[in-house]
Chain A
Amino acid sequence: MAMDPKTLRDPHNEPLFKARDTTIFRVLLAFAALLVIGSGTMAYAYFHSGYWNRVGIAPPQPILFSHRHHAGELKIDCRNCHPTVETGAFAGMPSTHTCLTCHSQIFTNTVMIRPLVESAESGSPIEWNRVNRLPDHVYFNHSIHIAKGVACFTCHGDVGKDALMVKGQPLIMRWCVGCHRDPGARLSQPGDLFDALAPAKPPKATPAELLAFYHVRTAVLTNCSTCHH
């Protein structure tokens, strides 16, 4: 094919790409598009996952304290060890002396409660690893939740089921406001509030009845300043 040689390059030029290159290029393009969509989906999944929220994870503890045994089997009332849950912002953690009310009598010499004995002797507290934690900008008050019919198990899960304490709920804001927007369905009857296990049967009262019973004013629950100030 004869054309003006001045403006032509070598006519026997190799083609730049092969059919394989087209395939690779198209696959890469598709992959890039997928990456954009996929990374968003992955991020969503990650930040809503139990891994991120630590749901179901039991951190190691200095003493292998079993809620299953104490709360589930022995049916010790939650308030026995968390005494200020009805009156204060914090539920209260049992002091060494609280534990010793029983354990000065029973299992006093077991290896398992050695740290307790050491704490009592040395006066230095037992350092537990936190299971449930809210960020600093959240102002949470246990007492008002109990007063308005939110049972322990609603947020902490079936603590009487597992030996080591595990986180029962994600405690992310989406989860919090889920209840604050529609609290009725999550309330429990007064008798169930301190059960270590969620009752198998739904409460006898309807959500509306429970809301009325506890005088829950739902309007303020979703105000930002209810939890953040």
Chain B
Amino acid sequence: MAATSQDPGSSAPARWRSIGELNGLANEGRDGGDEFPPGASEWPEGLDRRSFLKRLGASLALGGLGGCMRRSNGRIVPYVIPPENAHPERPEYYATAVPVEGYARGILVESILGRPTKIEGNPDHPESLGATDAATQAAILDLYDPDRSRVPLRAGLTSTREVFAAEWAQFLSARPAGQARIALLTEPTTSPSLLREVGLMLDAFPNALWFQHTPLASYEVDGLQPDYDFSKAGVILSVGSDCLYRHPACVRYARGYAAGRRVVDGRIAASRFYAIESSPSVTGVLADVRLPASPPRMRVIMGAIDKALLGNSSWQAGLGAQESDFVGRLARDLRANGQRALCVAGEEQPMDVRRWTASLNGRLGSEGSAFRWLASARSDSNQRSRGDARALRDAIAGGAVEALVVLSSNPAYTSVALRGVIPAISKLPFSVHLGAYADETAGACAWHLPEAHFLECWGDLRAYDGTASVLQPLIEPMWNGLSALEVVRILRSGTLPDSYQIVRECWRDGAAGDFDERWNRWVRLGVADSRAAAGARAPRGPVAAPDSSTEAPGLSLLLAPDSNVLDGRSANNAWLQELPRPLTRLVWDNAALVSPSLASRLGVEDGDVIRIAARGGLVEAPALVMPGQATDCIAISIGYGRWRAGSVGNGVGFDAYQVRPDDGTWGIEGIEVTTTGRRHRLVTTQHHFAIEGRNTVRTVDAVSLVLPKPPPRTSLYGGWPRNGNAWGMSIDLSTCIGCSACVLACQAENNIPVVGKDQVSRGREMHWIRVDKYFEGAPDNPRFLSEPVPCMQCENAPCELVCPVGATVHSSEGLNDMVYNRCVGTRYCSNNCPYKVRRFNFLNYRAPADSIINLQKNPNVTVRERGVMEKCTYCVQRINAARIDAERENRPIRDGEILTACQQACPAEAIVFGNIADPSSRVSARKAEPTDYSLLEELNTRPRTTYLAKVLNVGETAS
């Protein structure tokens, strides 16, 4: 407690507790400290006294008699004609790709009994390499979202596709052939087929205009894509970039970054990572040396870097001590590394900053090795496009549009420009919206067509590096949805086409030889023959450093795409809503992040609603104190406050688009902040971020790599005989980027329920693996430590000892088995678990029996009922499946044959699972590294999951 907490002003790297504690508040209550908050009891809506009594009676009757009545054995229904696949119960994997802001990420989709159940990375795809990010894992849930749009709507009323086609034909026939003034709005896309279809449409209707809109930043700099190879970098400079976490190539980048941070055979050639950013990002907080700076201040520092690199001795002018130390060390290391120096800028940075940062690579010599330019893969700068949403607004306002066609985009929410002309859209002679949800834009358009999920239709996309993939469906469209390809074809030709034919037409085009053979290979591998442009040339010569003004700019606001729901498109995905935001651990909300010192200056604490006025816009959002946030900068993510997202996303969070500038910039200077006196309940899954002097996350210096070894432990007991496989896991904290992909992979694999904001606020989140975050050092610029914590599978498991019914016992292979159907729910095991990795079904968290969400469930994992404890078991269903295969063939299980879901998803390969009894296994090699340690080793629980300490490569200070 206070005995161990430090003076917040001291810059000593002491480990400290929550922000509330720093401010002298003992209460860590997530809702602002009310000891017994009103309405904390449980009475679900729509349950009156009568039905309560009915249910009570029924439950007593069932409880009393259910045990003594024989259940029906049910029916068994064989096929009339047996299917081709003799084993429909066995998972099959199909290659396809998930769209990531229009780019492809190759995936393999697991299908059991004909329904897609889980997404894995495609090892053959360059932007997946077998791994995924969290958003990719969550994409499977969208398929089964009950809120998805199911029928065409005309003015909000149910209609049909045929009526739509007829009405469109009528619209066209009322105008001279080909003269209809059609406006087509899409997101920037890499799909060759869609671009071809759009092209054909523009050909067919000379007056048609094509606009492209996305609220997110373009990945292009002057028409080219910067691309990085972190594995070749010795020194990395990130300028506000989050490219290891949120980028079409983030998996590849994370893999490359991890290569430079991994201890192998006791050695490491560690990269050194510098970051300068205004708000902590998943990528930035990994930096060995990190400097928070507000957007205007960043420009000053970049100017200093530029000067220092040029050898201008006056570079220190106007810098603070911390800043000049940062710049000095950075410049020294960048010059020393030359070709191995990599500079990366965030996409949300102003274009001059991105240009300058990219040009540094050319100056330092890393262009061609760690850095390269790629030709554009996305249609951002397509010649036929007439501009973005602003251009469309002008066109509508100018009367140049008779028919508006919005494809797979939601501009009525995401475009500040278009929000203003919604009444005008409603008055157009024809307007149609294609989308997975009857969302905000659907409400503005006369027609709404349900869109097919990408697992329901054919398509094609290019990856960031240009690799093309054919997207194949895993399931018939559940709600008769259409793809954008099909809609464009309907609009152009009036026929009701098939996406399969459209995609094949595009790819057959101009192709010689045996097309079917190639097509089948593309579909099977998930990677089409590469038509990617090779590395492009640098766009221009030397670039001047971003100019900066010297006057004090005051407070600035930094908008950012949300780490989970992006621009709001995933707002109705409950997995993503409940997945803690990587750094704040916030769920089901966004918040205005303020630095600790700004918070005390404004007099606000977590949950106080503040009003931010910026350039005429106004947004009110609850403040959340974020250590490491630039002092004069408030950050808030977009994508919340939606009103037609669906039952999950409606009304969640605060709509930061209200202050988004029309031109799509992300930083706003000179904002005004006032307090409102109101409070909002912010819910986090973790609310104590200090490490309390406990050795839970260990760090080692890259030079010495010395970790104190614990004394050998002896036992009076003989211990249990261990023969056969001994499962174990190693988690490398040095390569872990803290992205939470493991959390969602586990959720998808193990049927983990979503419990909602209220239950999380009561401390009842269900994730089996969590990513702990700790802050260490000065609150305004701490070191961030993250640590994924699954069940440790202790050999001396404390949980097992106290279970009265033996529902959790050890397996012969060292698993801490959890037998759901034996559990009576005393929760004693959770109390006795020092790692608190056990999760309890306090209420019935299962979806209703008839819910469509159940189709996603993994049939090989029991869906837990109310009152049952659950936890990670190293994906024992996968172990069993592999064992059955191996036993049938009378061979041992091969190393790497079993991948746990978290391991499989991890982009950084930080998690390795395997047989520790086999000294040649990968996990044994990991555990033999000098940086291996057990969490809470002193308790002698002997965990099978151990960690590799986080390697820091801070280097010496400039002086």
A residues near B (Cβ < 8 Å) are 46, 51-52, 54, 59, 83-84, 87-90, 92-98, 119-120, 123-131, 133, 135-137, 139, 141, 143-144, 147-148, 215, 217, 219-220, 222-226, 228-229
CB–CB B884/A143 < 8 A: yes
The complex places the Cα of A46 from the Cα of B67 at a distance, in Å, of: 12
Residue in A closest to B887 when the chains form the complex, CB atoms: A144
A173 shortest CB reach to chain B, Å:
10
CB–CB B80/A95 < 8 A: yes
Of A90, A92, A123, A220, the most chain B CB neighbours within 10 A belong to: A220
CB–CB B80/A54 < 8 A: no
The complex places the Cα of A95 from the Cα of B89 at a distance, in Å, of: 16
Q: Which 4 A-B pairs have the closest CB atoms?
A: A93-B78, A223-B811, A219-B812, A137-B821
**Which listed residue, B70, B74, B77, B79, touches A52 by the CB 8 Å rule?**
B70
CB–CB B873/A229 < 8 A: yes
Do A136 and B90 form a contact, CB below 8 Å, given A128-B77, A129-B73, A129-B75?
Answer: no
A44 shortest CB reach to chain B, Å:
13
A197 shortest CB reach to chain B, Å:
23
CB–CB B812/A220 < 8 A: yes
Interface flags, B75-87, vs A, CB<8A=1, else 0: 1111111100011
Chain A residues, CB < 8 A from B522: none
CB–CB B89/A54 < 8 A: no
Given contact pairs A95-B80, A147-B888, A223-B815, enumerate 5 new A-B contacts (beta carbons under 8 Å).
A88-B86, A98-B82, A130-B75, A217-B724, A220-B812
Residue in A closest to B821 when the chains form the complex, CB atoms: A137
CB–CB B884/A228 < 8 A: no
Chain A residues, CB < 8 A from B821: 135, 137, 228
**Which listed residue, B78, B811, B887, touches A94 by the CB 8 Å rule?**
B78
The complex places the Cα of A92 from the Cα of B74 at a distance, in Å, of: 16
With an 8 A cutoff between CB atoms, is B820 at the interface? Answer: yes
11 of the cross-chain contacts (CB-CB < 8 Å) are: A88-B87, A95-B82, A96-B78, A96-B80, A123-B80, A144-B888, A223-B812, A225-B817, A229-B861, A229-B862, A229-B877
**Which listed residue, A87, A127, A139, touches B877 by the CB 8 Å rule?**
A139
CB–CB B862/A137 < 8 A: yes
**Which listed residue, B74, B87, B819, B887, touches A148 by the CB 8 Å rule?**
B887
With an 8 A cutoff between CB atoms, is B876 at the interface? Answer: yes
**Which listed residue, A51, A137, A222, touches B820 by the CB 8 Å rule?**
A137
Chain A residues, CB < 8 A from B879: 225
The complex places the Cα of A139 from the Cα of B858 at a distance, in Å, of: 13
The complex places the Cα of A212 from the Cα of B945 at a distance, in Å, of: 33
CB–CB B819/A128 < 8 A: no
Interface flags, B43-85, vs A, CB<8A=1, else 0: 0000000000000000000000000101001111111111000
With an 8 A cutoff between CB atoms, is B890 at the interface? Answer: yes
Chain A residues, CB < 8 A from B87: 84, 87-89
CB–CB A97/B80 < 8 A: yes
**Which listed residue, B73, B86, B822, touches A83 by the CB 8 Å rule?**
B86
Residue in A closest to B68 when the chains form the complex, CB atoms: A46
**Which listed residue, A125, A137, A220, touches B78 by the CB 8 Å rule?**
A125
B854 shortest CB reach to chain A, Å:
13
Chain A residues, CB < 8 A from B73: 54, 59, 129-131, 133
With an 8 A cutoff between CB atoms, is B715 at the interface? Answer: no
Residues B887-936 near A (CB distance < 8 A): 887-888, 890
The complex places the Cα of A88 from the Cα of B724 at a distance, in Å, of: 25
Chain A residues, CB < 8 A from B883: 220
Residue in A closest to B810 when the chains form the complex, CB atoms: A223
CB–CB B890/A215 < 8 A: yes
CB–CB B862/A225 < 8 A: no
Do A139 and B78 form a contact, CB below 8 Å, given A223-B813, A223-B815?
Answer: no
CB–CB B860/A229 < 8 A: yes
CB–CB A219/B817 < 8 A: no
B73 shortest CB reach to chain A, Å:
4
CB–CB A95/B81 < 8 A: yes
The complex places the Cα of A102 from the Cα of B239 at a distance, in Å, of: 75
Chain A residues, CB < 8 A from B811: 220, 223-226
CB–CB A220/B75 < 8 A: no
Do A139 and B860 form a contact, CB below 8 Å, given A220-B811, A224-B811?
Answer: yes
With an 8 A cutoff between CB atoms, is B880 at the interface? Answer: yes
With an 8 A cutoff between CB atoms, is B314 at the interface? Answer: no
Chain B residues, CB < 8 A from A147: 887-888
The complex places the Cα of A97 from the Cα of B821 at a distance, in Å, of: 39
Interface flags, B341-374, vs A, CB<8A=1, else 0: 0000000000000000000000000000000000
Chain A residues, CB < 8 A from B822: 224, 228
Chain B residues, CB < 8 A from A59: 73
Residue in B closest to A90 when the chains form the complex, CB atoms: B89
CB–CB A120/B80 < 8 A: yes
CB–CB A223/B817 < 8 A: yes
Residue in B closest to A53 when the chains form the complex, CB atoms: B70
Chain B residues, CB < 8 A from A52: 70
Do A125 and B77 form a contact, CB below 8 Å, given A137-B820, A144-B884, A229-B862?
Answer: yes
The complex places the Cα of A226 from the Cα of B884 at a distance, in Å, of: 10
**Which listed residue, A120, A123, A127, A141, touches B77 by the CB 8 Å rule?**
A127
B722 shortest CB reach to chain A, Å:
9
With an 8 A cutoff between CB atoms, is B195 at the interface? Answer: no
Chain A residues, CB < 8 A from B77: 93, 125-128
B862 shortest CB reach to chain A, Å:
5
Chain A residues, CB < 8 A from B68: 46
**Which listed residue, B75, B82, B809, B813, touches A97 by the CB 8 Å rule?**
B82
Chain A residues, CB < 8 A from B861: 229
CB–CB B884/A141 < 8 A: yes
Chain B residues, CB < 8 A from A97: 79-82
With an 8 A cutoff between CB atoms, is B10 at the interface? Answer: no
With an 8 A cutoff between CB atoms, is B723 at the interface? Answer: yes
**Which listed residue, B813, B880, B888, touches A139 by the CB 8 Å rule?**
B880
**Which listed residue, B79, B724, B817, touches A125 by the CB 8 Å rule?**
B79
Chain B residues, CB < 8 A from A223: 811-813, 815, 817
**Which listed residue, A128, A148, A226, touches B75 by the CB 8 Å rule?**
A128
The complex places the Cα of A39 from the Cα of B157 at a distance, in Å, of: 63
The complex places the Cα of A192 from the Cα of B884 at a distance, in Å, of: 22
CB–CB B819/A228 < 8 A: yes
The complex places the Cα of A59 from the Cα of B890 at a distance, in Å, of: 38
A122 shortest CB reach to chain B, Å:
9
**Which listed residue, B81, B89, B862, touches A89 by the CB 8 Å rule?**
B89
CB–CB A128/B815 < 8 A: no
CB–CB B815/A225 < 8 A: yes
Interface flags, B833-848, vs A, CB<8A=1, else 0: 0000000000000000
The complex places the Cα of A139 from the Cα of B68 at a distance, in Å, of: 24
The complex places the Cα of A223 from the Cα of B814 at a distance, in Å, of: 10
Interface flags, B864-879, vs A, CB<8A=1, else 0: 0000000001001101
Chain A residues, CB < 8 A from B862: 136-137, 228-229
The complex places the Cα of A59 from the Cα of B876 at a distance, in Å, of: 36
The complex places the Cα of A90 from the Cα of B83 at a distance, in Å, of: 14
Chain A residues, CB < 8 A from B70: 51-52, 54
The complex places the Cα of A216 from the Cα of B880 at a distance, in Å, of: 15
Of A123, A135, A141, the most chain B CB neighbours within 10 A belong to: A141
CB–CB A87/B86 < 8 A: yes
Chain A residues, CB < 8 A from B877: 139, 229
Residue in A closest to B863 when the chains form the complex, CB atoms: A136
Chain A residues, CB < 8 A from B90: 88-89
CB–CB B86/A84 < 8 A: yes
Residue in A closest to B83 when the chains form the complex, CB atoms: A95
A127 shortest CB reach to chain B, Å:
5
Residue in A closest to B884 when the chains form the complex, CB atoms: A144
Of B86, B809, B887, the most chain A CB neighbours within 10 A belong to: B887
Chain B residues, CB < 8 A from A54: 70, 73
The complex places the Cα of A224 from the Cα of B861 at a distance, in Å, of: 14
Of A54, A126, A223, A229, the most chain B CB neighbours within 10 A belong to: A229
Of A96, A220, A225, the most chain B CB neighbours within 10 A belong to: A225
Residue in A closest to B883 when the chains form the complex, CB atoms: A220
Residue in A closest to B722 when the chains form the complex, CB atoms: A219
